[in-house]
């Protein structure tokens, strides 16, 4: 997905979502910062640029983008919901020390369990937790 305002507008219109200023701002943010931000992070950063912004708008926009399958939810932790603009299949690793969330490639089709042959699978999430390389180094 291209970052320009024009392109983002087109993407939204394709999904029959009106490209309001706030919606574009949220999309731009998710594309620029690929750190899987929380609602609070998105809001606190964007409100600097858009002082009238409301947190309800962030929630509304994200829920809209999720329904349109432009954004996915990352529930790697039970106490914080995070959002990800990347919809391609990939796993998430959260470092228990620094909190960073890393993307990693994962061939989910390869480990499709036999038991699930009769299930219709719509969504696949792989969440790992542990210590990231730089935190491992630091600990020594």
Partner DNA sequence: TCAATTTTTATAATAATTATAAATATATAA
Partner DNA sequence: TTATATATTTATAATTATTATAAAAATTGA
Interface positions with DNA (CB under 7 A): 17-18, 20-23, 38-40, 50, 52-57, 59-61, 63, 78-81
132 near Zn ion (CB under 5 A) = yes
CA distance 30 to 137: 30
The partner in contact with residue 98, picked from its own copies, Zn ion, Mn ion, none with C-beta cut-offs of 5 to 8 angstroms by kind, is Zn ion
The partner in contact with residue 40, picked from its own copies, Mn ion, DNA, none with C-beta cut-offs of 5 to 8 angstroms by kind, is DNA
Question: Closest by alpha carbon to 132, among 83, 107, 92, 97?
Answer: 97
Question: For its own copies, which is the closer residue by CB, 15 or 124?
Answer: 124
Question: For its own copies, which is the closer residue by CB, 41 or 81?
Answer: 81
Question: For its own copies, which is the closer residue by CB, 48 or 113?
Answer: 113
Please name the residues in contact with 30: beta carbons below 8 A apart, sequence gap of 6 or more.
37, 42, 71, 83, 84, 85
Instruction: Kindly list the distances between the CA atom of residue 133 and the CA atoms of 73, 105, 109, in Å, as whole numbers in the listed order.
Output: 25, 17, 27
Q: How far apart are the first and last CA of the chain?
A: 41
Contact 123, 105 (CB under 8 A): no
Residues within window 68-127 making contact with Zn ion, judged by CB under 5 A? 95, 97-98
Token look-up 């708008």 returns: 57
Residues within window 73-132 making contact with Mn ion, judged by CB under 5 A? 84, 86, 103
To the nearest whole angstrom, how small is the minimum distance from the Cβ of residue 54 to Mn ion? 26
């Amino acid at each position: 997905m291209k970052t320009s305002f024009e392109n983002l507008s087109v993407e939204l219109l394709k999904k029959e979502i009106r490209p309001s200023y706030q919606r574009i701002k949220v999309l731009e943010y998710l594309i620029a910062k690929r750190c899987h931000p929380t609602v609070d992070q998105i809001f606190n950063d964007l409100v600097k640029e858009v002082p009238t912004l409301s947190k309800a708008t962030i929630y509304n926009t994200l829920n809209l983008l999720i329904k349109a399958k432009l954004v996915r939810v990352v529930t790697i932790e039970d106490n914080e919901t995070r959002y990800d603009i990347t919809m391609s299949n990939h796993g998430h690793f959260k470092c228990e020390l620094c909190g960073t969330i890393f993307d990693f490639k994962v061939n989910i089709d390869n480990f499709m369990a036999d038991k699930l042959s009769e299930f219709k699978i719509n969504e696949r999430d792989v969440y790992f937790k542990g210590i990231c390389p730089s935190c491992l180094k630091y600990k020594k």
